[in-house]
Structure 1
């Protein structure tokens, strides 16, 4: 069943992101003709005869327009990348012992393994300062060539279309690579790695050029400056950098890359040591796409250092902008080092996203639909999501609350854990990338909550899988009646723990939602949209979904948080513009009028008093709200 679901999602991705107008027009013509013939045979044609005839008459015109539109769309170039042996079905790899990316007897290399099965994937040299310097220099030269190319606008679109085409044709391989390196399920990889990237690419193709068009501004409010036009132009910064986290190795890498390419930048990506193996495959895909489209593959670079050497990257003077996705402690180091080079940084950190369920919702809508949303929002990728549901705050009557708890408990109890990359077993949730100390922390937080009155209904501890005893598995957990001051209610869990709190009212629920130091995302569920809107205004977060979960991300809105969740935005129009030099340009509306220095204030100034009267009148005429005063000022300027 899990494999069937993975195939279904792959087909959905292909359907949603590969349609063009010609296909749509042909489908419409065929459907209309078939419907017309059926109705004629039934003798029920008359009520729709005129309208269908009109539609069928217009169909050829629509088809011609669609085909003309298609001619303006760059066709993707085809290329293939060898499938890594480790990503092939039923690959048999030896288990790494001990399961750690750092091996004391070989400190110069990063050891990669599958968190679910502990199978060894390969080792890679940790990059040095010289490696980073060379990567930045290669990217710099490639960017100059790329942006100065007369075909730049065409090639940037072609690269993105080529990537989109490759992803759609190779969904299973891409998902398998992500699963091997992160331990997630194929379904989770299809949703989080593939669909998210396809959406970003297609949104940029549809909206990116409009977002980067020069922005015409009103110009000066001064009456005497109305002959000037003002606009902001968006030009590439040069070489930008991205330090990305390990939870979504493909999506976290490709998102910054496609944004950088479309804005005319080169990019150097520093991946996490924990997903070094998959990152090598994904960067080879991007480089192949660049090459087949006639773009220097050095435009995109990949580096990976040990954490202790991260300053070599974040403080590099050759980077004009940094995007950091990670934790607050690491962010402090990144921002401090980037500050030495005066490099601007967008910081996307953790979250403690709350789902606020209002008093009216469970009463009017029941629990089944929202329970399914809660399950997906919590356990997707074993809870390792920055915008995953970390807290569920329920207001309203106890009977509805208990019904929701009962429904969720039954669902969580049926969750199956393991690895489905070889499709040898049906599972719902995979492994976590981090084990060991992370599991110790989760178990301590859960124990503390129970000691303060919480009910642990499911899970709550690590799980030793019979087939993968070294795998990083933690049991799907449901804990309810949680004190809002417990560590599990205030700290980012980043794991498969569904935490439920009760609130006496909707107002108290919002207060609880705002009570932590985080402010990334949230959601509000209410059958009264206007009430949900009012609560949304009071939530101190960067993103809110009303009657849904995290859809603001797929809608390509600017993404980022407040408080301890970071600052700055990526995604959407603001994300593209953030990778640009916003150049302010002012120029004359016509060659008939241009700036000259009036005699009274031309150096050397002949008469100081006269110069003062002139400037005072200039200010009066330019900024006084009274037209009478403006006229007097103009007279003064004219008569001296």
Structure 2
């Protein structure tokens, strides 16, 4: 029975992969014919009987394995209560002035709702010692996590557990995000929850394949064809994510789930502007880790004032950093990271352009594309790194004007306010920052008008009658914008729709590529060849054809060029970027391996002979002439000893 016991052991080891091919090999490799289980004194065809049993067992075992795997990975249901401030119709005092920094208490970060100025709480800015402790705890947890024999199972289980909780608690999550960012519930669902669920499920479906060893072609020369070449993807250790404030739930969860699945620990440095919601979201993740029997130190949250950012970016404890933010801050991050030689992925701003060809407007009309542009511009009050910043319409002026008028009609209907408690119908929420940001936006609008732009709606800050301390800016539409003004060249990151007319495709492309940014873009045309040609001409890291920003939901590698940064997160490349790419080669068979010929073995006894040997070796492997290669092989044989 020992052979049968060995077989059962192999089956148990493969329970998580459910690889039918490997299972079949295990069955065939098991010597059932020598087992007492299948051998009798009057047995005439023991081999045939064994093979029949094997073939009959395969589908049964595969079914049982799959059912067992499904049960093992079943999410663990847990509860995590909503904070009082996120409950419907919560009444909180107004923070005056509505600012995260209070002069009378400079050591604390003050949190408030940008839509209502309601005070949410205050938090200490982390010190260097606290950052070091967080990294140390994270590293210890990561080492135990990755070395756990059940690592593969646990990483899947915790993602499924998070997925189940998110679906069941969508409203609570949206309320928490809205309280801290001022966006609407609908915007929170689309921009925070839906994309996070997609990320989790994409990783569950594709993550293991992306991180399995990658077989490479290996050497081109026949001299080394006995080698197998692979790339192994191993965790870096402790990774850091310095994330922006515009999507607090998404920006917390997405780097966390990628880090966990790739076997890393992660320290998230959240923005001071969303410190309150980040606390809730990280504790949500920690609870999920605990119920899945994983040390919750695997995920850490820190937050400090911008002036103290080097505590994170310059900390030698990180093995990799992802930074999401602006160019000025990125320069400080990169400077500090370079001192400790930490690799950094940098995702910065964008000035994303939508190119609309006249054929699309003629065939599809203006209403549908106008709705897409509205959503891409005004979702989350325009605070989107891949939001629509410019709309460039090519072709005749009649279609351009029809499109402009449709936009003007839609923008005029937008209702601004707080939709957190859903007591009133609201289309657009607040901006996270007011004050100086509003001064900048108003000055840019004024400059654009002076340079000939038509201001069809908005253009200034808005004092809401119910929330006078809230950070509201009017939905703004400017057309015929001069492409050289600040509004057309700088990232607005606000609810401003900028429309430009181009006479043809060449001018449209020149306009699209006229800024320092190159993050995302869209091309709309009913002629697919034309759309592909324009897409190829856009200097951007991500482009959607006849759609807006769907490249992100498709889990493609995300990142830009130029002033939009470098490196990628998301998709296969994003997961692999969190890993040490280890190049590994080994012999295909033990019958052939590398040995040093006597002629070049140290000490070299005959230099001329050694040179003749190595030069012939190069010819034998790489000369384009077959005859020269044959001659080289003869030379090798003559000079090998």
TM-score by length of 1: 0.89
Q: How does 1:325-474 map to 2 (within 5 A)?
A: 325-474=324-473
- Output one character per residue of 1:268-292: Cα deviation in whole Å (capped at 9) or x when no partner: 0000000000000000010001110
- 1:240 has 2:239 as partner: yes
- Cα shift at 1:405: 1.0
Residue 72 (structure 1) aligned with residue 69 (structure 2) = yes
CA contact (8 A) 1:138 1:299 kept: yes
Q: Deviations over 1:248-267 (max 9, x none)?
A: 00101111111100000000
User: Unaligned regions of 5+ residues in structure 1, if any?
Assistant: 1-61
Question: Counterpart of 2:12?
Answer: none
Q: 1:76 aligns to what SS in structure 2?
A: coil
Shift of 1:359: 2.1
Q: Distance in 1 between matches of 2:336 and 2:214?
A: 33
**Corresponding residue of 1:205:** 204
In the other structure, the counterpart of 1:56 is none
d(CA) in 2 for partners of 1:515, 1:536:
15
| Structure 2 equivalent of residue 492 of structure 1 | 491
Q: How does 1:139-150 map to 2 (within 5 A)?
A: 139-150=138-149
Give the equivalent residue in structure 2 for 1:84.
83
Q: Report the counterpart of residue 134 of structure 1 in structure 2.
A: 133
User: 1:327-383, CA deviations, whole angstroms, 9 ceiling, x for partnerless residues?
Assistant: 000000000100001000000000000000012111111101001001000000000
Q: What is the CA deviation profile of residues 374-410 of structure 1, one whole-angstrom value per residue up to 9, with x for unaligned ones?
A: 1000000000000000000011221211111111111
Query: Which residue of the partner structure matches residue 17 of structure 1?
Result: none
Structure-1 residue corresponding to 2:49 = none
Determine the structure 2 residue equivalent to 1:44. none
- Report the Cα distance in structure 1 between the residues aligned to 2:499 and 2:438, rounded to whole angstroms: 20
**Partner of residue 549, structure 1:** 548
In structure 2, distance between residues paired with 1:69 and 1:248: 37
Q: Distance in 2 between matches of 1:68 and 1:459?
A: 61
1:242 aligned counterpart, secondary structure: strand
Unaligned runs of 5+ residues in structure 2 are 1-58
| 1:235 and 1:582 in contact (8 A); partners too | yes
C-alpha contact (below 8 Å) 1:287/1:300 kept by paired residues: yes
Inter-partner Cα distance in structure 2 for 1:526 and 1:623: 48
Contact map agreement 2:245 2:270 (CA 8 A) in 1: yes
Answering whether residue 215 of structure 2 is matched by residue 216 of structure 1, we say yes
Alignment match, 2:225: 226
Contact kept in structure 2, 1:359 and 1:506, CA below 8 Å: no
Counterpart of 2:116? 117
Give 3-state SS (helix, strand or coil) of 1:428's partner: coil
1:574-613 maps to which residues of 2 (within 5 A)?
A: 574-613=573-612
Corresponding position of 1:103: 102
Aligned residue for 1:72, secondary structure, equals helix
Deviation at 1:506, TM superposition (A): 1.5
Partner of 1:266: 265
Give the whole-Å Cα distance in 2 for the aligned partners of 1:221 and 1:615.
Answer: 18
Q: Distance in 1 between matches of 2:102 and 2:64?
A: 58
Question: Residues 67 and 412 of structure 1: is their aligned pair in 2 closer, same or farther, counting only changes over 3 Å?
Answer: farther
1:588 Cα shift?
Answer: 0.7
C-alpha separation in 1, matches of 2:439 and 2:62: 62
C-alpha separation between the residues in 2 aligned to 1:306 and 1:336?
18
- Is the 8 Å Cα contact of residues 358 and 399 (structure 2) preserved in structure 1? no
Partners in 1 of 2:403 and 2:447 — Cα distance?
24
Alignment of 1:8-47 (within 5 A): none
Q: CA deviation at 1:66?
A: 8.9
**Cα distance, 1:625 vs structure 2:** 1.7
Q: What displacement does 1:70 show?
A: 5.3
- Corresponding residue of 1:48: none
Counterpart CA distance in 2 for 1:96 and 1:269 is 27
Is the deviation greater in 610-619 or in 425-434? 610-619
Q: Does 1:318 align with 2:280?
A: no
Deviation at 1:72, TM superposition (A): 2.7
**Residue aligned with 1:469, SS:** coil
1:613-638 C-alpha deviation (Å, 9 max, x unpaired): 11111111111122211111111111
**Cα pair distance change 1:631/1:559, threshold 3 Å:** same
- Change in CA separation of 1:184 and 1:138 when aligned onto 2, cut-off 3 Å: same
Deviations 1:43-73 (A, max 9, x none): xxxxxxxxxxxxxxxxxxx9x9999745433
Q: Matched residues in 1 for 2:438 and 2:379: separation?
A: 18
Number of residues paired by the alignment? 579
- In the superposition, relative to structure 1, how do residues 509 and 67 fare at CA in structure 2: closer, same or farther (>3 Å)? farther
CA gap of 1:87–1:66, structure 2 versus 1, over 3 A, is: farther
Alignment CA distance shift 1:83-1:67 (3 Å): farther
Query: Quick check: 594-603 or 396-405, which moved more?
Result: 396-405
Question: 1: distance between equivalents of 2:68 and 2:526?
Answer: 46
Alpha-carbon spacing, 1:630–1:509, altered in 2? closer, same or farther (3 Å)? same
Counterpart CA distance in 1 for 2:598 and 2:310 is 56
- State the Cα deviation string for residues 498-529 of structure 1 (Å, max 9, x = none): 10000011211111000011000010000100
Q: Secondary structure at the match of 1:467?
A: coil
In structure 1, what is the equivalent of residue 306 of structure 2? 307
SS in 1 for 2:80: coil
**SS of equivalent residue, structure 2 residue 459:** coil
Q: What secondary structure does 1:479 align onto?
A: strand
SS of 2:268 mapped into structure 1: strand
Conserved 8 A contact 1:542-1:562: yes
**Is the contact made by 2:557 and 2:572 (CA closer than 8 Å) also made in structure 1?**
yes
Residue 24 of structure 1 is matched in structure 2 by none
Q: Could you say which residue in structure 2 is the equivalent of 1:164?
A: 163
Report if aligned partners of 2:377, 2:495 keep a CA contact under 8 Å in 1: yes
Q: Given the two structures, how large is their TM-score scaled by the length of structure 2?
A: 0.89
Other-structure match for 1:625: 624
* Kept in 2: contact 1:359–1:505 (CA 8 A): no
| Cα deviation 1:437-463 (Å, max 9, x = unaligned) | 000100000011111111100010000
Distance in 2 between residues matched to 1:193 and 1:299, nearest whole Å: 23
Query: Counterparts of 2:413 and 2:467 in 1: how far apart (Å)?
Result: 20
CA distance in 2, matches of 1:324, 1:531: 35
Structure 1 residues 112 and 229, CA, compared in 2 at 3 Å: closer, same or farther?
same
CA distance in 1, matches of 2:446, 2:472: 18
Kept in 2: contact 1:143–1:299 (CA 8 A): yes
Is the aligned partner of 1:511 residue 2:502? no
**Matches of 2:465 and 2:139, distance apart in 1:** 51
